[in-house]
Amino acid sequence: MMTFWLSAGIIFTFLSIAFVLVKWGRTPCEGPYPMHPFTFVAILFTSGLDVGLIMFPLTEFPVYADIVKNPEYSFTNPLALEFGFWGFMIWGFYFLTCFYFCILEPRVRFFELKLVKFLNNAVIIGTCAFTAYLLLANLPWYIPVLAASNVSNIIFTGIVFSVIALAVYSSTDLKYVRILSLSSSLLFLALIVLLWVMAFVVHHLPAGEYVATLGLIGGYFANLDHFVLPINDYHEFYLFWWFAWSIMIGQFTARFVGGLPTYQVFLAMVVVPSIPIALWFSILYYYYLNELSTAGLINWTMIFVGITFVVNSLDSLVRLYTDNLNLTVERFGRVKYFIGNFSVLALLTLAFSGEFLEIEWVGAIVIGLYFFCFLYMLGSKRQQIERLN
């Protein structure tokens, strides 16, 4: 049943994207806080990703390569699979919701309905906590030196709670969100350059082989149809995860669109973020193929950048749901704002740790919101939509 629900949501989403591009492709999109396209993409990129982008591939390449145990992955190479789980087509989810909140929601006001508003903000808060939980669950693998300690659970919980605290504080002012987004993007690019230098200068590996490795991503585009619907349970988990993020990232990034036509917003949100992702995954895969170690400087740098991504994602989402619910600094003051948000997110993170919550449930709710919003527009807001040129 969950697979059917997910598949229906994916098909509906891609059909909607095609309809939007055909009908409103040249409609200018501008949010209440328009920013330069580079800043907009930086906010999108760092808000829409977390530590999984940095650390997951090294654990997933061997799984994708083992086609004896996982024959469903045999249609292409591990790098193309990794890219397919994180890049290009699925960023269309973010584009669709960004367009909706920029152009349609001011006319439709579906997310101002009481039940919808409650569900939307419950999704945002729950996904914030899931992001923090993923960091907590994977820190023992990221930092094995600390995992060997007798007090590792206390240390890792302290790190995650510190990340939550920093994100909540950062969310108190939009200037922090902007600065952190730009800094995170530059740090990520610097991390890619670091791995290039270590591979080509320190280890003296040929750069031409890396270019050939990068070309393996073409296996994704050659087999695009395989990535539309769930390949297996693990891919299904990823797709639910992307749906869980989609409404809130679209809602947040719609604030910063700077007047670009819709088709350019699509290119900015689908193509542009996929380029650094492709460069990152390809250098990691190059390390995997050549059995190069990432221990030491590289690993600690990856951890730092990954944690920065988590802070960046969380502060964006905290800012979003507090604005939606009028739980702002201006209303409560910094101290109450900080204590309240930190407490809620810390408790929900522990709830995910105890497996009381599942991200698949959150994604399923979001798909339901997609369908109900569409029906609401057809039933109650058709005239308002038809007036939109």
Please count the structural domains in the chain: 1
Task: Specify which residues 29 forms β-bridges with.
Answer: 260
Contacts 24+ apart (CB under 8 A), 135-141: 135/50, 135/51, 135/159, 135/160, 135/163, 135/306, 135/307, 135/310, 136/160, 136/349, 136/353, 137/353, 138/51, 138/52, 138/55, 141/55, 141/59
The structure tokens listed for 56 are 């997951």
Domain hosting residue 68, numbered range = 2-386
Q: How many whole angstroms separate alpha carbon 325 and alpha carbon 383? A: 29
Specify the pLDDT at position 357. Answer: 59
Query: How do residues 301-358 score in pLDDT, each as one tens digit?
Result: 888 888 888 888 888 888 888 988 888 888 888 899 999 999 988 888 887 776 655 7
State the 10-residue block means of pLDDT for the chain, 389 residues long: 92 96 94 86 77 84 95 96 93 95 93 91 82 81 76 85 90 77 86 94 91 95 94 93 89 90 94 93 95 87 86 84 87 90 87 68 91 91 75
Query: For residue 76, is it left (φ>0), alpha (ψ between -120 and 50) or beta?
Result: beta
- Ranges of beta strands (E only) in 63-163 are none
pLDDT score at 355: 60
The secondary structure of 319-360 as a DSSP string is: HHHHHHTT--HHHHHHHHHHHHHHHHHHHHHHHHHTTS--HH
Q: Which CATH number do you get for residue 276?
A: 1.20.1740
Q: Give the pTM.
A: 0.88
Paired tokens of 319: 């800012």
pLDDT digits (tens, 9 = 90+) for 77-91: 999 999 999 989 999
Q: What is the pLDDT of residue 246?
A: 92
Q: For residues 23 and 32, what is the distance between their CA atoms, to the nearest angstrom? A: 23
23 CB contacts (<8 Å, ≥6 apart)? Answer: none
* Rounded-to-integer distance, Cα 44 and Cα 257, Å: 10
β pairing state of 258-261 and 28-30: antiparallel
Q: For residues 165 and 39, what is the distance between their CA atoms, to the nearest angstrom?
A: 24
Helices 297-324, 233-253: axis angle to 10 degrees equals 60
Structure token pair of residue 121 = 């903000």
Pair 225, 89: CB distance under 8 Å: no
CB atoms within 10 A of CB 344: 18
